[in-house]
Amino acid sequence: MTVHVTSAALSYGADEVLADVSAIIRPRDRIALVGRNGAGKTTLLRLLAGELAPDRGDISMPAGTRVALHDQRPPLAGTDTLGSYVGAGAAKAEELEAELRELETRMTEHPTEAVLRRYDAAQREFERAGGYAWRTRLEAVARGLGFSPADLDRPLRTFSGGELTRASLVRALAAEPDVLLLDEPTNHLDTDAIEWLEDHLAGLDAGVVFVSHDRWFLESVATGVLEIDRGRGRYEKGSYSTWRRIKAERVAAQAGAFERQQEELAHLQRFVDRFRYGTKARQAQSKLKAMARIERVERPTEQRSLRFDFPPPARSGRIVAEAERLIVEVAGRTLIADAGFAVERGQRVALIGPNGSGKTTLFNLVTGAMGADQGEVWLDGTRIDRMKPWERGHLGLARTFQTTRLFTSMTVLENLVAPLPDAKWSTMLKPSVAGHEADRARELLAFVGMEKFAGQPAGALSYGQQKLVELAQVLMLEPRLVLLDEPAGGVNPSLVGRIVEIVRDLNRQGVTFLVVEHNIPMVLELCDPVVVFSRGRAIAEGAPQTIREDPVVLDAYLGDEWRPPGVTGEAAAPDQPQGVR
């Protein structure tokens, strides 16, 4: 099944997202969509899925082509079980199987030519949809992405946000589509699940179009790259690293051509300015017309690099946050099992571990969003359950989320002003965008590269853009302790480096960080110490290099690709690891 995209264009009001994108998607193609946050990558996926229609151009595919989309919108955490949700991806196979049983009964009782023809057609459709092994494949996909057979019977409301996003991915893969569309498929996946996904995609006959900011995943999977830049698409066949090399050469050549043309235009303009009204006026007019006919070379797109001076945060005590003997159970499932921790002022602490190991639950405990069944959490010497929400804000506690929580109907600038600790509810509903706070908000938006979107509704931004706005929103609070929940998820690799710079700048001024992140290279570069969670408890803590060489951690989480030479994985997890209470 080949899909043709011809000069597709789409606008949201006056904002032209896609201007001219063309591509051909063939079976077994693995096309990576790349471009800046907000370039239109997710929009193109939704066009291919049929959720949106292009304003101009055409997207064509043969009748009966099965398309499955996994995006960054997790399913609602309702009463449906995980099995019924992910099984809906294979609903077509289930329907065809039931139809074949009915047709077999009819052929036994009253065989007709029409029934035989329909049986033959249904049999071919059923084989295309996965055949009688569809249930086995569904369970294998769920298992590969970290779900156990028992999980399939659990209600969706008992799963974390990251697990629900993984469930969406299982559903898309289980559909056995002809065209598979994946938007940030590695978000909320641990190392083992990413490896499994890479192997699974390599064996599919479907054409795959995907968006990812994981460079290792891009290099492993992509057989071609479709770049979207200023609304236009450019396709390069080959690996992600091949595309990076070709683009670097193209940008360098374009920069040289741009500079040479600017010099030529400046030379012509000087001639025109000098002789326009003199004896050479006719020649000057001729030069002026020649300038108008020259096709302009566009200036190459450049990444911005801005500085921002952060006000020094109020000094906290030596222990910024700590907890003792935490136990949390939800629906009979233990999320946190006798965990304790202490975060000292000025540290950059990372929490890593498989999905569902209790990392985000720990964040919710620290912020007071949920309470523990047993144990206590202290923030700067005060028990969190004895504090009002605004008191936590005044103590300098701020966090980001896996899924951004902006007011989508408010403008980007209003989102930065509204959640300040001193804001009254009436201000929250219609925040002031004037005065010192608005100026500071604009400076922070410029710092994260989002100032041009200040007046736009937050709901019109891409996921990556919303993550940057949320980061600026957190910085508006002038925090002492920042909890970052997967800050690199859905963000361009170049901007991941910018986030690392921001964290280091703040940390040098006394801000403490607690980070949950599946981007292990980012964690090993940025954080010290690193705490590894597994099954609701901390199993190891230490410096990044120590963690990288710990056989317990290698077995529980990181996997063989992080195992240094000569380090084996044959070790049993200690009952009480050093450094973790």
pLDDT in tens, 125-138: 777 656 666 677 77
Segment (H or E) for 398: strand 397-399
Note whether 489 and 389 are same-domain residues. yes
Could you tell me if residue 355 is inside a domain?
yes
Note whether 80 and 168 are same-domain residues. yes
- From residue 199, alpha-carbon distances to 132, 239, 569, 573 in Å are 22, 16, 23, 29
Look at residue 120 and tell me whether its pLDDT is greater than 50: yes
Please, where are the H alpha helices in 297-411? 359-367, 389-394
Least confident of 101-105, 173-177, 415-419: 415-419
| The two three-digit tokens of residue 348, written as one number | 């950059």
How many structural domains compose the chain? Answer: 3
Look at residue 217 and tell me whether its pLDDT is greater than 80: yes
Q: Where are the beta strands (DSSP E) in 414-509?
A: 481-485
What value does the mean pLDDT take over residues 432-459? 77
Least confident of 44-48, 52-56, 206-210, 284-288: 284-288
Q: What is the largest CA-CA distance in the chain?
A: 103
Could you tell me if residue 129 is inside a domain?
yes
Residues 488-539: tens digit of each pLDDT: 776 776 677 777 887 887 777 678 888 888 777 788 778 888 888 777 777 7
Query: How does residue 428 score in pLDDT terms, banded at 50, 70 and 90?
Result: very low
Could you tell me if residue 448 is inside a domain?
no
Annotate 266-295 with b (16+ C-beta within 10 A) or e (fewer).
Answer: eebeebbeebeeeeeeeebeebeeeeeeee
Note whether 143 and 280 are same-domain residues. no
Give percent above pLDDT 70 in the chain: 80
Residues 12-52: tens digit of each pLDDT: 777 788 999 999 999 999 999 998 877 889 899 999 999 99
Look at residue 545 and tell me whether its pLDDT is greater than 80: no
- From residue 298, alpha-carbon distances to 18, 38, 256 in Å are 18, 20, 11
Q: Please, which residues bridge with residue 398 across strands?
A: 482
Provide CB contacts within 8 A for 408, sequence distance 6+: 457, 458, 459
Residues 495-504: tens digit of each pLDDT: 777 778 878 8
Name the 3-class secondary structure at 491: coil
Query: How does residue 123 score in pLDDT terms, banded at 50, 70 and 90?
Result: confident
Torsion on CA atoms 275, 278, 279, 281, rounded to nearest 10: 60
> With contact defined as beta carbons under 8 Å apart, do 167 and 76 qualify?
no
Could you tell me if residue 9 is inside a domain?
no
pLDDT value, residue 552: 67
> With contact defined as beta carbons under 8 Å apart, do 330 and 353 qualify?
no
Could you tell me if residue 433 is inside a domain?
no
Here the CATH number for the domain that contains residue 534 is: 3.40.50.300
Mean model confidence pLDDT for the chain? 78
Residue count (the chain)? 581
What value does the mean pLDDT take over residues 382-395? 70
Note whether 282 and 168 are same-domain residues. no
Q: Domain limits at 161?
A: 75-179
Q: Where are the beta strands (DSSP E) in 133-265?
A: 179-183, 207-211, 224-229, 232-237
> With contact defined as beta carbons under 8 Å apart, do 64 and 122 qualify?
no
For tokens 């991915």, name the residue: 169
Residues 358 and 539: their CA atoms lie apart, in Å, by: 12
Query: How does residue 407 score in pLDDT terms, banded at 50, 70 and 90?
Result: confident
- From residue 131, alpha-carbon distances to 65, 84, 179 in Å are 17, 19, 18
Query: How does residue 562 score in pLDDT terms, banded at 50, 70 and 90?
Result: very low
Q: Which of 417, 413, 419 is nearest to 455 (CA)?
A: 413
pLDDT value, residue 567: 43
Identify which of 118-132, 425-439, 466-480, 559-573 has the greatest average pLDDT.
466-480
Note whether 169 and 87 are same-domain residues. yes
Note whether 140 and 266 are same-domain residues. no
Provide CB contacts within 8 A for 18, sequence distance 6+: 8, 9, 10, 40, 43, 44, 47, 54, 228, 231, 233
What residue type is 568 in one-letter code?
T
Q: Positive or negative CA dihedral for 119, 87, 80, 68?
A: negative
Segment (H or E) for 436: helix 435-447
Note whether 164 and 106 are same-domain residues. yes
Note whether 365 and 294 are same-domain residues. no
Could you tell me if residue 206 is inside a domain?
no
- From residue 102, alpha-carbon distances to 3, 94, 119, 123, 131 in Å are 34, 13, 10, 12, 16
- How many other C-beta atoms are found inside a 10 Å radius of the C-beta of residue 422? 9
Note whether 115 and 155 are same-domain residues. yes
